[in-house]
Structure 1
Amino acid sequence: MNNFIYARASSVQDAIARTAEDPTATVIAGGTNLVDRLKVFLEEPSQLIDISRLQMQQIERLPDGGLQIGALVTNTALADHADIRRDYPLLARAILRGASQQIRNMATVGGNIMQRTRCPYYYDTAFACNKRQPGVGCPAIDGVNRLHAILGASDQCVAVHPSDMCVALAALDAIVEVAGTQGQRQIPFVDFHRLPGDTPQRDTNLELGELITRIILPPVAYARSGVYLKLRDRASYAFALVSAAAALNVSGEEIRTARLALGGVAHKPWRATIAEQFLIGQPATSSVFEKAANLALQEAVPLSGNQYKVDLARRLIRRAFAVSANSGGMA
């Protein structure tokens, strides 16, 4: 590990100024993913800018009925918050399935959003990796790729995004608010993370010097019917093979609103908008859910070792929609 300067930011603007002036500086809050990367030399910052004591730890009701969540709210505080458990239960469920209690106590909302892939080729510096060093190749494409992407991948990278919380936020139409040298801006959650394309080293659309300040959850009618289902190799805490955040709003026999996001299948939380659009106006039946699942996966391109993910995802989508329709999605 290289020597670095530790500095405690006195304000959001101080943190922004420090990172804008030094492209090799890195911010740290809970550090649950960053410290792992430091240990294996994936990150070698010149400075660690500590933002953990900034005043971004509140969860507050907005005038329109939505919620704003400070970037430094811990995962535990978010999952345990009464308004989240009542109005956005799929978010609480996703967080509780995402990590152990000890990690949730440290991890922050902003850090969760910024965590990087757990692809073993990325973590092992003995292998080439386009995410670490663009242009050297992606050994996972022809290597051990059981855990890798089936949607949205490129010939540069087939890594998957690891977060459970982010899958829920994608389904909930969340908004990421960031502050930078040019002021504040809001980014729809579905546009915050990037597919690999030709720039697999970039995970998000944050610009140099920008800092996540809060997440906004809009007041959406379908949120209380939301479910989060996760399939993993073991019952204890593990990253998803496939996960699904789904929510339906059904009036009479007709689906009025549908949301579906998938985890463990792409470089970013995967929002299945084609399947959502198909469901509008349809009855909430198993055959309709089957067609929606097929649409959600029609662009899947499995690798040599992960064809199983297509079938797992199809079954999980059907199950998630059926549970949502029967647990609060009926108006």
Structure 2
Amino acid sequence: MQKDSGDPDVALVRKAAASGDWDTLRGLLEARPESEDRTELVQAAGDMDGVENWIDEVVEAEPEAALPRLVAGFRHISWGWEARTALQASHVSREQFKVFHARLRIAEQHLYEVAEREPSWTSPWLGLQRTGRGLEVGQATARRRFEAAVRRDRFHLGAHQQHLQQVCDKWGGSHEEMHAFARESALGAPGGTLLGQLVAMAHIEQWLSLDRGADASYMRQSAVVSSLWEAADHSFRHPDFVRSGGWLQVLNTFAMALSLAGDHGGARECFDATEGRVTETPWQYLNGSDPAAAYREQRSAAAQR
């Protein structure tokens, strides 16, 4: 079993970022178009510990270049969330919030400078969606940042995923707004779209918000199962579905959602299509320390039904 995104360059990016090998990292990023593919690689670089120790020197050495600032921006986002931790706000200290917000403000400065230098790029606006949520810029500003991203790449999965989080109940939206956004985005996109994942994720988000017992009852409602299949038929089950970009996360998300919904036949179809390759999202919601273990458990349960 592999834990990956389906993109072989992710491992190369992580290795280069971890070792401070800017020449290799730049080559990998420049080889990708400014789209979903590059966004994933930039995020992978930003998630690596230690990038903050050397990326500022690259920014200073190449003051007019956008790419070093983009990596710096994404590193400060991940570094900021590391300081905040995944705990509920009531369990995060004032000092942690102070560090969190300081790092996100640095990220915003880098990302706005990237947007000015490269006005056609989507990735800085994706980053600004993430910083905006952490800095609580408000729904109106968050919506403008999302719209800026999709003006540049209409069906960008990452941008839509970020806005789905923004309109969740836990971030100031509502379940109704979240589901409406997910369905309209998924079904409004061409057949074979990756955006079908939003419908499955929206149901998982509502499941997460419910108490034990109520969560299972929610997922097993016929209306929930029907909406999952409606989205699946327009997404990974559509003949135009292509295994590129975030395709593997799409299948993993539907596998988890259909497992929780008790549709083991549908879940098996998704598990088989993943070929044993598990993405961290969404399985971290079942097992934060070992998402792959959650994947194995649910795959085994689906196989026995």
- TM-score, structure 2 as length reference: 0.29
Q: Which has the higher helix share?
A: 2
Relative contact order (alpha carbons < 8 A, sep ≥ 6): 1 or 2 greater? Answer: 1
> Which structure shows the higher strand fraction?
1
User: Normalised by the size of structure 1, how large is the TM-score?
Assistant: 0.28
